[in-house]
Amino acid sequence: MTTRVIIVRHGQSSYNADKRIQGRCDESVITEKGIADAKIVGETLSNIKIETIYCSPLQRAKKTAEIIQKQLKNPTNLQAVEKLKEIDLPLWEKLKKDEVKEKFPTEYRCWKERPEEFKMELETGEHFPVVSLNEQAKEFWQEIIPKNKEKTILIVAHNGINRCLIMSAIGIPIANYHSIQQSNCCINVLNFTGNWGEAVQLESLNQTDHLGIPLPPPRPPETQLRLLLVRHGETQWNREGRFQGIRDIPLNENGRKQAEKAAEFLKEVKIDFGISSPMLRPKETAEIILEKHPGVKLETKEKLTEICHGLWEGKLETEIEKAFPGLLNQWKTAPETVQMPEGENLQQVWERAIACWEEIVSSYSNSEKPITGIVCAHDAINKVILCYLLGLKPENFWNIKQGNGAVSVIDYPQGEKKSLVLQAINITSHLSGGILDQTAAGAL
């Protein structure tokens, strides 16, 4: 059974609006916009049975949590927890970001480029803000998850601690701290399969559609390259739970509707190019999306073809277990160790998918103006790409969810040579109207 954790960043604060460093300073208050957005979050979550709300005791987060609590239909307990406080940046608090860059140029560069090494020299000794925050997040999980088995809980906290909660839950290295975006009043969803230390799935990252912002805006505004990674719509084999692999199964009626909803969702986005796996299901999904963008040609790339499941293809899980006893469970628990009978292993898929992704990034990073493209592929391919971008490994394959018709957003603010930003992962709100992924749970 699963413990669902919904994580929300506080609404816009006065320091956010003024572009000041907040840290653990408690002078910053939620703005009128922050209050309005918090009400929207509450309305969005109102039909979900939330057992407990855990919030940071800092007033910008606590106020956001109180506003959300008032909108919920079921009575929900609210607890302020010290371990949800924001990152501790004592030498920078209250300063504007530009002031920090000017006064602490070397430290700021380290903060941005090597957060795992970033430190502050205090009277009490060396302080490693990001490392300490990550340990704080782990301690929170160890304390809270055992108390909430098979329940749904809500966390309302801050940019930094939210990142570390997500990172520590699924194993993202501290070096990737700045690769994860957290917008004010965004929604993230994590699914814990058991206690702390057992498998955790990132269902979604940084959803903002409920705020009237379909895709999180680029950071900074003039991002050089934005890629929208899309999983194909549903097929009948998805619906039945049959393993597809390289069998060229087309979209079913619901899959075409999902593609149409994705097209509507992305119609206001200026798309400059389109790339797809050559297989029918992603190619048709991409073509339907690009109908809203006349003149954009679709290119196919063989390396984006789905994982070859070999002798598993066309079979249900019960049939696979009968023919290959124990191998399916191995695939679910240690996927990096499985060689598909007469098919591929995950490392082979990893190598070709990542090579293809890097080729795409390299090809489109030299544009004279910011450009956006869609890349439409498959469950395994998308998971592998997202794992790689998050600093994860093949063994983390199941930590990432990809729903049929889902959209993920990856920015390269300064092209291929600089750090990327995972703006959003597995957006499915355009399919169901809610924040939870309701797509088919069928096989690959």
The CA distance from 399 to 193, in Å, is 11
Greatest alpha-carbon pair distance for the chain in Å reads 66
Known catalytic residue at 178: no
- Cα separation, 136 vs 168, in Å, equals 10
Annotated catalytic residue 232? yes
Side-chain half-sphere of 99: how many Cα atoms within 13 Å? 10
Place of tokens 């669902």: 4
Identity of residue 298: L
* Selection from 307, 319, 399 nearest residue 353 by Cα: 307
Cβ atoms of residues 296 and 290 within 8 Å:
yes
* Torsion angle of the four alpha carbons 30, 35, 39, 41, in this order, in degrees rounded to the nearest 10: -40
Catalytic residue (one of 203, 306, 313, 344): 306
Taking CA atoms, 262 is separated from 167, 204, 344, 411, 429, in Å, by: 28, 16, 30, 19, 10
The token pair at 25 is 């300073």
Set 158, 232, 309, 378: catalytic member: 232
Burial of 279 (0-12, 13-18, 19+ CB in 10 A): buried
Phi-psi sector, 77: left (phi>0), alpha (psi -120 to 50), beta: beta
* Whole-angstrom distance, CA of residue 358 vs CA of residue 240: 34
Tokens of 354: 């990542």
Structure tokens at 294: 């006349």
What span, in angstroms and rounded, lies between the C-alpha atoms of 421 and 285? 25
Who's near 347: CB < 8 A, 6+ residues apart? 336, 394
Catalytic residue numbers read 232, 306
